[in-house]
Amino acid sequence: MGTFVITKSNADGQFYFALKAGNQEKILSSEGYTTKASCISGTDAVRVNAKDYSRYVKATASDGRYYFTLTAVNGQTIGTSQMYEGSSGRETGIASVKANAPDAAVDDQA
């Protein structure tokens, strides 16, 4: 089972979440949120959108590595994956988000 880990940055004072798989590998990271409540809403948006394959935007970085973003209905990015060496790794990452996000626990470290 996955876990959303919520943290607060000392550098900018914003809240972030990271979705970790059962093996504790980070599979999705958020952008910064100004409030913890907004960050928690972000985790809820991941839960809602994770199962819909059409919400995943596949991309290639300038260095040739692969990644994906998870978007909401309005097109806003909810989270960004780690970088993968190949497209098959990216597909595995998407499958992991789909499997782990819906029932993920929340570890509030903020």
In order of their start, the domains of the chain are 3-108 (2.30.29.80)
CA neighbor of 30 nearest in space, from 92, 19, 13, 56: 19
| Tokens linked to 77 | 């990015």
Q: Residue 94: name the closest of 62, 63, 49 by CA.
A: 49
**Residues present in the chain in total:** 110
> Residue 45 has what DSSP assignment?
H
Do 40 and 1 contact (CB within 8 A), yes or no? no
Average pLDDT of the residues in 14-41: 96
pTM of the prediction? 0.92
pLDDT confidence tier of residue 1, bands split at 50, 70 and 90:
confident
Q: Which tens digit of pLDDT belongs to each residue from 29-58?
A: 999 999 999 999 999 999 999 999 999 999
Rounded CA separation 54/17 (Å): 22
Model pLDDT for residues 55-107, shown as the tens digit of each residue: 999 999 999 999 999 999 999 999 999 999 999 999 999 999 999 999 999 99
The single residue listed with the structure tokens 């209905």 is 73
